[in-house]
Amino acid sequence: MLLVTCAAVWAAGCKKEQPQASAPVDAGVVAVAAVDAGVPDAGAVAVAKVVKPLRFSDVTLRTEGRNVRVTYTLTNPGTAQGRGDACLSLHDDQGMVIEVKRMGGITVKGGTTDSFEDTVSVGETFWKQTRTVMLYTAGEFRCSNGAPTATSELLRLLPTGQPAPADAPAPHAPQASQATDFEVSGVELTQSGQFGDDYTLTYTVKNVSDHRAAGSGCLRAYVGQEDAPHLEESPEGDFSLAPGASEKIEDSVVFDNERNWDRVMELRLFTSPFGCADGADTDNLGFKFMKPESIHAPEEGVEGEPSGDPEDETGMDSSDAYDPEEEVHHEQQAPHGE
C-alpha cells in the first residue's frame, strides 16, 4: 500500500489527455529491490520495498530554454490508490546525482493508468552535465530523499528520452558537500542601469574535492566593524561540479534596502552546500573583498510625465473640452421664455 501522511501543500501535476509514445514500458526500468534481497553495493541506490510499485511508460522529454517538459504515463498494478510526487533525477557520466527535481503531485487509483505532463526548471549547466535521467515516484515531499524512498520502479533514460543503455553507470547518491569543497576566484562586482540600480556579481567557483559537490553562493555585506553582523545578504547562483571542475557564475545582487550600498564597506562571498542558509564559521570564512569605490546607492529616479493629455488648472481633461463660442451660440438660439 502507498500510505502518505504529509499534508498536501504543493500543487498536483498536470494530467495530459493523450501523451506521446516514446520508450517501451520496461525499457530502462530498474526493478524495485525487496528488503531481504541482500545488501546492495556500497553507494549504489537501494530502493524501498513496495509490493506492487507504480510503473512509468510513454515518457517524453523536451527542453524549452531553462525548462524541461516531461510527459509520462503511470500504471498502478495494485488495488490501493497511489499518491505522492513524481521525481526527476539528473545523473552525470559517473552516475552521480547532479540534482533532483519534483515534477508534480500524482494520484493513480488501483488497477488504473493515468497520464501526466509537468514542466521543471533546470539550470543550463546542470543539463549540460546530465548523461542519464531517472524517473520515480515517492511520498509527498520525499523526492529529495532519492530512490531509497521510491514507490515506483526506477526508469532510467537518456536526456533525449530514449532508454539508457544497459552499461550506463549505476545511479549513486552524492557524498555530502562541505564549504571546504569550493574555491572562489575572479570575483567582480559591477553597477549599471539608468539610475545605477542594477548590481551584478561575477565569480568562478571550483570544486577542489575528490567527489561531486553541489552548493550555492551567498554575498554578505558589512559596514566594517570587527565581528559586526552582516547588513545585507543576497543569494548568488547554484552549482553542481565534478571533481576539479569549475564554473563561472553571474547573478544579480539584490539588497532589501538599496540605500545600504552607501554604508557597506566590506563584502564576503560564501560558497557552501546551502548558500545563505549556512552561517559563517571557521570552515566557511567566505571570500573577503572591499567594496569598489565606484559602487554606490542608486540615484534617485525622476518620475516621467503622465501619458495622455495633461489636466488643466480646472481639473478637466480632453474629454471635458468644449467651445465657449459654441455655448454662446446655443444660448442665443434658445426659445424665448425659458
pLDDT surpassing 80 at residue 170: yes
Architecture (CATH level 2) of domain 14-157: Sandwich (2.60)
For the chain, give every domain's residue range: 14-157, 179-290
Three-state SS at 217? strand
* pTM attached to this predicted model: 0.71
For 52-100, the DSSP string reads S-BEEEEEEEEEETTEEEEEEEEE--SSSPEEEEEEEEEE-TTSBEEEE
286-303 pLDDT, tens digit each = 999 999 999 999 987 644
pLDDT range class, residue 47, cuts 50, 70, 90: low
pLDDT surpassing 50 at residue 250: yes
Q: Distance (Å, rounded) from C-alpha 144 to C-alpha 268?
A: 29
Lowest mean pLDDT among 15-19, 159-163, 170-174, 321-325: 15-19
Three-state SS at 150? strand
Q: Which residue from 204, 203, 205, 207 is spatially nearest to 244, judged by alpha carbons?
A: 207
Decide: 29 and 135 in contact? Cβ < 8 Å.
no
pLDDT surpassing 60 at residue 232: yes
Domains 14-157 and 179-290 share a fold: yes
pLDDT range class, residue 224, cuts 50, 70, 90: confident
Architecture (CATH level 2) of domain 179-290: Sandwich (2.60)
180-200 pLDDT, tens digit each = 999 999 999 999 988 889 999
Q: Using alpha carbons only, what angle is made at residue 288 by residues 283 and 286, rounded to the nearest 5 degrees?
A: 25
Q: Distance (Å, rounded) from C-alpha 120 to C-alpha 97?
A: 16
51-105 pLDDT, tens digit each = 789 999 999 999 998 999 999 999 999 999 999 999 999 999 999 999 999 999 9
To the nearest whole percent, how much of the chain has pLDDT over 90?
63
Higher-confidence residue of 263 and 146: namely 263
